[in-house]
């Protein structure tokens, strides 16, 4: 009735914090890693490529220098053209050279050159240093091709050119391997980031899980047992922990008050029902005169109206206890309104020889019906506890932001130990001298007054001195 124990499943699309954080971390690391890997990859690629190109250019310059030194004797090149592959067998660069004249006639070439079937050497231009072609064969070998001038005639025109093919297969392999390593590494990094961040997040959220578990546990009172020790809690969660503890404490208070009220209520209902049952049973035991039946029915009516009053008051209290109750607030002039209630109570007062005195001036912003009930309850209370021929003083005043109404009686007073409880529902001070409990009412009057004052955002205070009297002070906030 008060607690819903069923737990609604989370909507399917909502992710847990752990999953969310893990995924975000993983994505971030993945992104950073990809960028680093790409940069490194392209740097490597660029370095290798530049080195290769430079190698080709250098080679052409070597050929040209050789030719110049040997006054264009082609034989001087033969060592460079033929011996190189053999000499550099174990080196990382293998190259093949072809020497042509300006008519494209072959003058000289590395022996294995024709086996390579390379025919897309770039044609010679002024920017030959920048012109690079590639060729690859069916064996998977890749060549970097460059054509460069190595001799010039008298007019400065190119007379001989060298076509060089550099075997770059090894470097290509290297780059390919490097690429594969990167991919493998990437997978490893993603997987380990995922697992690590998951573990870290779980550890970081441990207190949160604690809180969740605690919250799940608060199904059964007493709630005070589920207070959390927040001393070693992280800073971010401490306020939650404190709020949680406060909530638990309030729940505990409310629940114990509630169960106390319910048992009091049940008790309150039990007495009249017991009377009703007993009387009805008894009267049906044997035939009776109609006068006797009538007597029982009349007595029943009294019990029914007692039950009805209990229910009315409980309902009223429940309603005023609900903070969403809408008030029909209006400005009330205290004197005439209170006099109206006092006039009604005066009948009861004069029976006990009590005098009700009203004085002061104040305007009160309140719901009229609830205001009447508040004043009535307090007056009624004062009259019940006032001595024979005593006095009840009602005094009101305007004091800054409060309209204050004080209702004082010259009664027996309330002992200090009772004072903090008198606003609790059904709280009645057992009085040995006053045996007829019925005149003391249900013990709901002051609770009702208190919840009405709460609804009005006001407050109620009580001062009491044994054998002198009790004063209740109502504080209504002034509305501008």
Q: What residues line the site for other proteins (CB under 8 A)?
A: 298-302, 304-305, 308-309, 311-313, 315-316, 319, 325-326, 328, 340-341, 343-345, 347-348, 350-351, 369, 372-373, 376, 380, 441
Which residue, 230 or 446, has its beta carbon nearer to other proteins? 446
State the nearest-atom distance from the C-beta of 351 to other proteins, in Å: 6
C-alpha distances out from residue 305 to 273, 277, 310, Å:
12, 15, 9
Length of the chain: 480
Q: Nearest 5°: CA angle at 248, between 245 and 254?
A: 140
The rounded distance, in Å, linking the Cα atoms of 360 and 365 is 16
Closest listed residue to residue 164, CA positions, set 148, 151, 178: 148
State the nearest-atom distance from the C-beta of 16 to other proteins, in Å: 43
State the nearest-atom distance from the C-beta of 348 to other proteins, in Å: 5
Which residue, 120 or 298, has its beta carbon nearer to other proteins? 298
Closest listed residue to residue 146, CA positions, set 167, 132, 126, 130: 132
State the nearest-atom distance from the C-beta of 263 to other proteins, in Å: 23
State the nearest-atom distance from the C-beta of 433 to other proteins, in Å: 20
State the nearest-atom distance from the C-beta of 297 to other proteins, in Å: 8
Report CA torsion sign: 323, 324, 325, 329: positive
Which residue, 55 or 372, has its beta carbon nearer to other proteins? 372
| Contact between 334 and 476 (Cβ < 8 Å) | no
DSSP-derived pairing of the beta strands 402-409 and 106-109: unpaired
The rounded distance, in Å, linking the Cα atoms of 409 and 344 is 17
- DSSP, collapsed to helix, strand or coil, labels residue 68 as helix
Which residue, 161 or 444, has its beta carbon nearer to other proteins? 444
The rounded distance, in Å, linking the Cα atoms of 415 and 407 is 18
Whether cis (ω within 30° of 0) applies to the bond prior to 255 is: no
Which residue, 110 or 374, has its beta carbon nearer to other proteins? 374
| Contact between 410 and 391 (Cβ < 8 Å) | yes
| Contact between 160 and 99 (Cβ < 8 Å) | yes
The rounded distance, in Å, linking the Cα atoms of 164 and 63 is 11
Report CA torsion sign: 208, 210, 216, 218: negative
State the nearest-atom distance from the C-beta of 270 to other proteins, in Å: 18
The rounded distance, in Å, linking the Cα atoms of 271 and 199 is 63
Give one word for 117, left, alpha or beta, with left for phi > 0 and alpha for psi -120 to 50.
Answer: left
Closest listed residue to residue 462, CA positions, set 403, 426, 415, 396: 415
Which residue, 171 or 377, has its beta carbon nearer to other proteins? 377
Which residue, 139 or 326, has its beta carbon nearer to other proteins? 326
State the nearest-atom distance from the C-beta of 339 to other proteins, in Å: 12
The rounded distance, in Å, linking the Cα atoms of 85 and 94 is 6
State the nearest-atom distance from the C-beta of 414 to other proteins, in Å: 20
State the nearest-atom distance from the C-beta of 438 to other proteins, in Å: 10
C-alpha distances out from residue 237 to 201, 214, 346, Å:
15, 14, 59
Which residue, 226 or 377, has its beta carbon nearer to other proteins? 377
Which residue, 369 or 431, has its beta carbon nearer to other proteins? 369
Q: 331: which 2 tokens?
A: 């400005």
State the nearest-atom distance from the C-beta of 436 to other proteins, in Å: 12
**Number of other CB atoms surrounding residue 409 within 10 Å:** 27
The rounded distance, in Å, linking the Cα atoms of 367 and 122 is 101
Which residue, 164 or 345, has its beta carbon nearer to other proteins? 345
**Number of other CB atoms surrounding residue 16 within 10 Å:** 11
State the nearest-atom distance from the C-beta of 281 to other proteins, in Å: 19
The rounded distance, in Å, linking the Cα atoms of 413 and 423 is 15
Which residue, 313 or 403, has its beta carbon nearer to other proteins? 313
Which residue, 287 or 336, has its beta carbon nearer to other proteins? 336
DSSP-derived pairing of the beta strands 391-399 and 459-465: unpaired
Which residue, 38 or 318, has its beta carbon nearer to other proteins? 318
State the nearest-atom distance from the C-beta of 341 to other proteins, in Å: 8
């Amino acid at each position: 009735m008060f607690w819903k124990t069923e737990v609604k499943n989370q909507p399917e699309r909502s992710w847990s914090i752990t999953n969310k954080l893990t995924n975000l971390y993983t994505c971030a690391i993945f992104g950073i890693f990809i960028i680093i890997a790409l940069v490194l990859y392209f740097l490597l690629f660029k370095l290798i490529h530049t080195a290769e190109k430079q190698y080709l250019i250098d080679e052409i310059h070597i050929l040209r220098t050789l030719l110049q030194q040997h006054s264009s004797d082609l034989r001087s090149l033969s060592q460079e053209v033929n011996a190189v592959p053999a000499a550099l067998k174990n080196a990382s660069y293998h190259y093949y050279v072809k020497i042509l004249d300006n008519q494209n006639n072959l003058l000289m070439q590395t022996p294995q050159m024709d086996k390579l079937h390379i025919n897309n050497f770039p044609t010679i231009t002024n920017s030959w240093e920048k012109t690079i072609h590639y060729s690859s064969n069916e064996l998977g070998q890749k060549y970097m091709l460059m054509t460069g001038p190595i001799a010039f005639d008298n007019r400065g025109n190119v007379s001989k050119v060298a076509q060089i093919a550099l075997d770059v297969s090894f470097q290509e392999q290297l780059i390919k391997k490097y690429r594969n390593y990167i991919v493998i590494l990437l997978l490893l990094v993603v997987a380990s980031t995922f697992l690590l961040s998951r573990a870290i997040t779980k550890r970081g959220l441990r207190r949160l899980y604690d809180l969740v578990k605690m919250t799940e546990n608060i199904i059964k009172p007493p709630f005070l047992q589920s207070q959390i020790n927040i001393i070693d809690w992280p800073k971010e969660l401490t306020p939650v922990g404190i709020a949680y503890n406060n909530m638990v404490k309030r729940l505990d208070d409310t629940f114990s008050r509630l169960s106390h009220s319910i048992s009091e209520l049940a008790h309150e209902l039990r007495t009249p029902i017991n009377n009703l049952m007993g009387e009805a049973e008894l009267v049906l035991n044997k035939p009776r005169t109609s006068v006797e039946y009538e007597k029982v029915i009349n007595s029943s009516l009294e019990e029914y109206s007692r039950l009805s009053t209990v229910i009315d008051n409980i309902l009223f209290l429940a309603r005023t206890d609900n903070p969403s109750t809408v008030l029909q607030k209006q400005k009330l002039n205290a004197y005439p309104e209170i006099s109206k209630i006092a006039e009604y109570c005066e009948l009861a007062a004069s029976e006990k020889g009590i005098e009700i005195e009203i004085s002061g001036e104040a305007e009160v912003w309140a719901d009229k019906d609830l205001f009447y009930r508040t004043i009535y309850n307090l007056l009624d209370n004062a009259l019940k506890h006032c001595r024979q021929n005593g006095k009840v003083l009602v005094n009101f005043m305007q004091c800054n932001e409060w309209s204050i109404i004080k209702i004082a009686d010259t009664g027996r007073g309330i002992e200090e130990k009772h004072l903090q409880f008198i606003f609790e529902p059904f709280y009645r001070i057992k009085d040995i001298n006053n045996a007829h409990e019925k005149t003391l009412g249900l013990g709901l009057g002051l609770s009702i007054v208190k919840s009405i004052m709460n609804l009005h955002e006001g407050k109620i205070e009580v001062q009491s001195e044994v054998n002198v009297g009790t004063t209740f002070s109502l504080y209504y906030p002034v509305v501008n």
